[in-house]
Amino acid sequence: MTDDLAAYRHRRDLAASGEPEGSASSSSGEHPIFVIQKHDARTLHYDVRLEVDGVLKSWAVPKGPSTDPSVRRLAQPTEDHPLDYARFEGVIPEGHYGAGTVLVWDTGTYRNLRAEKPDDGASMQQSLEEGKVEVWLDGRKLRGGYALIRMKDRDGWLLIKMNDDEADARRNPVRTEPDSVLTGRSLDEIRAQEGD
Ligand code: MN
């Protein structure tokens, strides 16, 4: 994975795309933040981002997160994003990288579960390097443990709901709760209000 914002800035004309330049370098709260952005680009996907050391580590998850521990969702690593991207919602114009509509599908804070285990204690940076991230999400739609596991001999990772009290195979929030947690808007409403 990349480890700074050079790739983010290199790919974008930020003045024209309307996306954040990345001025904030740490969140204000006690816990690091996470955000999941629904991004209707060439193909619809969900960008899962975790705050680590002043940037948002990012994965694109085509099918979005599941609350069912038996489901494994492919998660493709993408470039680090600036922290203030976590509140970005709008339309990236045609011709720009990631052109399409973005909404904040879920956001909140997270805890590093590996750091809390006495026999483990791995930092988020270590977890990323080892390809084994375990976090507890406190979001509006998603709660509980989620693992991000790098597949052996491949570039891809898997996003898996851990088996805990918040696991629920009957829920399907990607389908039943499709809209923004910040503004309540759908992708269509954002397109209509903010598109050209
Ligand atoms: Mn995306």
Could you tell me the distance, in angstroms and rounded to a whole number, from the CA of residue 130 to the centre of ligand 1?
A: 24
Could you tell me the distance, in angstroms and rounded to a whole number, from the CA of residue 123 to the centre of ligand 1?
A: 26
Beta bridge partners of 106: 36
Could you tell me the distance, in angstroms and rounded to a whole number, from the CA of residue 48 to the centre of ligand 1?
A: 9
User: Of 13, 82, 20, nearest to 54 (Cα)?
Assistant: 82
- Residue ranges per structural domain of the chain: 6-194
Q: Which residue has the higher pLDDT, 105 or 153?
A: 105
What pLDDT score was predicted for residue 17?
85
Contacts of 104 (CB under 8 A, 6+ apart): 35, 36, 37, 86, 87, 88, 89, 180, 181, 182, 183
Residue 2 has pLDDT above 50, yes or no: no
Q: What is the pLDDT of residues 170-190, one digit of tens each?
A: 999 999 999 999 999 999 999
Count other Cβ atoms within 10 Å, centred on residue 165: 8
Could you tell me the distance, in angstroms and rounded to a whole number, from the CA of residue 44 to the centre of ligand 1?
A: 8
Q: Which residue has the higher pLDDT, 130 or 155?
A: 130
Is the distance from CB of 29 to CB of 101 less than 8 angstroms?
no
Could you tell me the distance, in angstroms and rounded to a whole number, from the CA of residue 118 to the centre of ligand 1?
A: 36
Is the distance from CB of 109 to CB of 31 less than 8 angstroms?
yes
What pLDDT score was predicted for residue 24?
66
Could you tell me the distance, in angstroms and rounded to a whole number, from the CA of residue 102 to the centre of ligand 1?
A: 8
Could you tell me the distance, in angstroms and rounded to a whole number, from the CA of residue 148 to the centre of ligand 1?
A: 17
What pLDDT score was predicted for residue 28?
66
Cβ < 5 A residues, ion ligand 1: 39, 47
Band (195; pLDDT cuts 50, 70, 90): confident
Band (23; pLDDT cuts 50, 70, 90): confident
Band (26; pLDDT cuts 50, 70, 90): low
Q: Which helix (H) or strand (E) holds 189?
A: helix 187-194
